[in-house]
A and B are shown apart, each in its own frame.
Chain A
Amino acid sequence: MQEVVLRTRGLTKRFGDLVAVDNLDLEVRRGEVLGFLGPNGSGKSTTVGMILGLIRPTAGSVDRMGIPLQRIGAIIEGPAFYPFLSGRDNLRALALAVNGMGERDIEQVLNLVGLGSSAHRKYQTYSLGMKQRLGIASTLLCDPELVILDEPTNGLDPAGQQEIRALIPRLAEEGRSVLLASHLLHEVEQICDRVAILRRGKLLAEGLISELTQQQAYLEIGVSDLATARELLSGLEGVGGVTIEEGFLHVDADASSGSLITKTLAEAGIYVSSLSQKHNSLEDVFLELTAESSAVQ
């Protein structure tokens, strides 16, 4: 079991009648990248605000396990820096405030995010992508134990996005923990170990991405007579729902049912041209969970 570096228990925030975060239990472990997902207004930023002490919880607690705020690097709802300072001076000002890094370390961080050559320019002249890079650089000041990134690739060109996607797992390999809030589910799927899915302040699911997507595994079967095959398989032992999608049968069943299914179809004179186990993407899981939650509410 990995060491927990951040834990929330029953974390709740109400703004008047609005419950922004509702009884949230969350854990971030050392050296992992936790994807923090949720539609707009789901309470992600409020949760991050409470973790960082910017917002006071109505109930519940945040335990940073003794990690001082100076050792938590965070971009919250986009980067925010002093427009009259250069990129380099912004990092100097922040490093001074947290009693942090020296000049050489600042240069290293700037080079790491590809801002070395434009660090002398004033922040107000930066493009969105450059601001984002500076934001990421700022999170790496003072050897952070926990890095919180909110949409870190927003505004970056494809090459920049790829650099950041490569950087985040490297941070985890160095033993840092990363909490990544993002709407880009394919990005999260590539980078993260675990995900937590939030909607209307409630935690809908939390776990390894592989576990969440495997829970929704199905068999995709290619046959000539889709309608008859569907009738034959519906009600078969070990088979859940059967649907026809894009010229294939989608059968809710695990791989061990494959032989029974092919035998049943063959006996009816329907021969299988292809059979493969598929699982839903994180996007499918996310959409399904958040849609279910909407329907319930």
Chain B
Amino acid sequence: MAPLLRSELFRLTHRMMTRVMLLAMVALIVGAYVLLWSSSGSLSEAEQLDQEEHMRLTNAPEYGMDIAYQVGFLLSVILASSSIATEYGWGTIRTVLARTDSRSAFLGAKLMGVVVFIGVSTLTGAASVFAGSAIVTAAGGLDAQLDGGFATRALLSCGRVFVVLIPYASLGFLVALWSRTTAAGIVVVVVAFYAEVLLTPLFEADGAFSWFPEDWLIYRNVRAILELNSPAPDLSFPDAWFGLGVLAVYSTGFLAAAFWRFNTRDVTLS
């Protein structure tokens, strides 16, 4: 699989889309910090103090990494879907697969490429959060002192964001592989995400839906893990270890289905 992974990474790093997405991530996150800071004039004094506290560099791992997750979510789903669907669209799947003894190795290399991208986008997101926060901290003359545990908190928050990006990217990958179109992968994930975010509170609000398994859905378990970044976690979400387990089951299920489909389907030629 190593040669296939090298080839995958070569293509990934030479693709304009990858660079554009990472640049967009930087622009969106830094831009969000600057916009939030510049609009703080309309807030009350207490709100301003609260916002300043959240935007300080030392608190970036707690409050800023949520922005990195939001942007990273979309980018990782786009890349995961595009990574496999474009191989069908361009016909390159037959060029590469015709010289590959193992389909699983080909797909494994593709997935490793996606995981590497998710890792890079998490680090880029974190760097952007810290850069945006540093800009605001310096421009606003905020307290720039870093706590002793800053580096550990930053690393842990990166790790949590990385982990929660995997299940949605896996779902996008599966749908794009099955349908052979990038758009289908993105649309299904976005619809699943918003359906869960919007419908879960409705089901929770009415006792008639007590059977609704909200703690077994993806987003609440994503939140369960991201809440660990917060100094005052919302305890209404499941336990983080439970969340990690549920997300691992979803990711494994999506990827197992992708491997099964890929290994049993003919690569038809036209």
Where the two chains meet, the residues of A that have a C-beta atom closer than 8 Å to any C-beta of B are 45-46, 49, 52-56, 68-70, 72-74, 76-85, 89, 92-94, 96-99, 138, 142
- Whether B268 pairs with A97 at a CB distance below 8 angstroms is no
Separation of A126 and B97 alpha carbons in the complex (Å): 23
Cβ of B100 within 8 Å of any chain A Cβ, yes or no, is: yes
Cβ of B236 within 8 Å of any chain A Cβ, yes or no, is: no
A83-B90, A96-B6 given. 16 additional CB < 8 A pairs? A49-B94, A49-B268, A49-B269, A53-B98, A54-B97, A69-B98, A72-B99, A73-B99, A74-B99, A77-B270, A80-B92, A81-B95, A85-B11, A93-B11, A98-B100, A142-B99
- Whether B270 pairs with A45 at a CB distance below 8 angstroms is yes
- Whether B15 pairs with A84 at a CB distance below 8 angstroms is yes
7 closest Cβ pairs, A-B complex: A80-B91, A97-B7, A96-B7, A54-B267, A99-B3, A52-B98, A55-B266
- Whether A81 pairs with B90 at a CB distance below 8 angstroms is yes
25 examples of A-B residue contacts, CB within 8 angstroms: A45-B269, A45-B270, A46-B269, A49-B267, A52-B97, A53-B98, A54-B266, A54-B267, A55-B266, A69-B100, A72-B98, A76-B95, A80-B90, A80-B92, A82-B92, A84-B15, A84-B16, A84-B17, A89-B14, A93-B11, A94-B99, A96-B6, A96-B10, A97-B100, A142-B99
Using CB atoms, name the residue of chain B closest to A51: B98
A77/B96 contact (C-beta < 8 A), A93-B10, A97-B4 known: no
Give the chain A neighbours of B45 by CB distance below 8 A. none
Chain B 1-37 residues near chain A, CB threshold 8 A: 3-4, 6-7, 10-11, 14-17
Q: Count contacts on B: residues with CB < 8 A to the other chain.
A: 26
Where the two chains meet, the residues of B that have a C-beta atom closer than 8 Å to any C-beta of A are 3-4, 6-7, 10-11, 14-17, 90-92, 94-101, 266-270
Separation of A94 and B3 alpha carbons in the complex (Å): 10
Give the chain B neighbours of A96 by CB distance below 8 A. 3, 6-7, 10
Pick from A45, A84, A94 the residue with the most CB of B within 10 Å.
A84
- Whether B10 pairs with A55 at a CB distance below 8 angstroms is no
- Whether B3 pairs with A98 at a CB distance below 8 angstroms is yes
Give the chain B neighbours of A84 by CB distance below 8 A. 14-17
Separation of A249 and B250 alpha carbons in the complex (Å): 78
Give the chain A neighbours of B98 by CB distance below 8 A. 52-54, 69, 72, 74, 76
Give the chain B neighbours of A97 by CB distance below 8 A. 3-4, 6-7, 96, 99-100
Give the chain A neighbours of B91 by CB distance below 8 A. 77-78, 80
The main secondary structure of chain A at its interface with chain B is loop
Give the chain B neighbours of A89 by CB distance below 8 A. 10, 14
The main secondary structure of chain B at its interface with chain A is helix
Give the chain B neighbours of A98 by CB distance below 8 A. 3, 99-100
Give the chain A neighbours of B96 by CB distance below 8 A. 94, 97
**Of B17, B95, B100, B101, the contact of A80 (CB 8 Å cutoff):** B95
Separation of A118 and B144 alpha carbons in the complex (Å): 54
Separation of A96 and B13 alpha carbons in the complex (Å): 14
A76/B90 contact (C-beta < 8 A), A96-B6, A98-B99 known: no
Give the chain A neighbours of B94 by CB distance below 8 A. 49, 52, 54, 76-77, 80
- Whole-angstrom distance between the Cβ of B131 and the nearest chain A Cβ: 28
Give the chain B neighbours of A138 by CB distance below 8 A. 95
- Whole-angstrom distance between the Cβ of B141 and the nearest chain A Cβ: 45
Give the chain A neighbours of B269 by CB distance below 8 A. 45-46, 49, 54-55, 76-77
Using CB atoms, name the residue of chain B closest to A89: B14
Give the chain B neighbours of A79 by CB distance below 8 A. 95
Give the chain B neighbours of A56 by CB distance below 8 A. 266
Give the chain A neighbours of B90 by CB distance below 8 A. 80-83
Using CB atoms, name the residue of chain B closest to A124: B90
- Whole-angstrom distance between the Cβ of A122 and the nearest chain B Cβ: 10
- Whole-angstrom distance between the Cβ of A56 and the nearest chain B Cβ: 6
Separation of A74 and B16 alpha carbons in the complex (Å): 28
Separation of A85 and B12 alpha carbons in the complex (Å): 10
Using CB atoms, name the residue of chain A closest to B86: A82
- Whole-angstrom distance between the Cβ of B122 and the nearest chain A Cβ: 24
- Whole-angstrom distance between the Cβ of A139 and the nearest chain B Cβ: 10
- Whether B97 pairs with A94 at a CB distance below 8 angstroms is no
- Whether B101 pairs with A69 at a CB distance below 8 angstroms is yes
Separation of A46 and B17 alpha carbons in the complex (Å): 34
Give the chain A neighbours of B4 by CB distance below 8 A. 97
Separation of A163 and B168 alpha carbons in the complex (Å): 50
Give the chain A neighbours of B95 by CB distance below 8 A. 76, 79-81, 94, 138
Give the chain B neighbours of A68 by CB distance below 8 A. 101
Separation of A76 and B99 alpha carbons in the complex (Å): 12
Separation of A72 and B101 alpha carbons in the complex (Å): 11
Give the chain B neighbours of A83 by CB distance below 8 A. 90
Separation of A69 and B17 alpha carbons in the complex (Å): 31
Separation of A169 and B270 alpha carbons in the complex (Å): 29
Separation of A142 and B7 alpha carbons in the complex (Å): 15
Pick from B90, B91, B95 the residue with the most CB of A within 10 Å.
B95
- Whether A85 pairs with B14 at a CB distance below 8 angstroms is yes
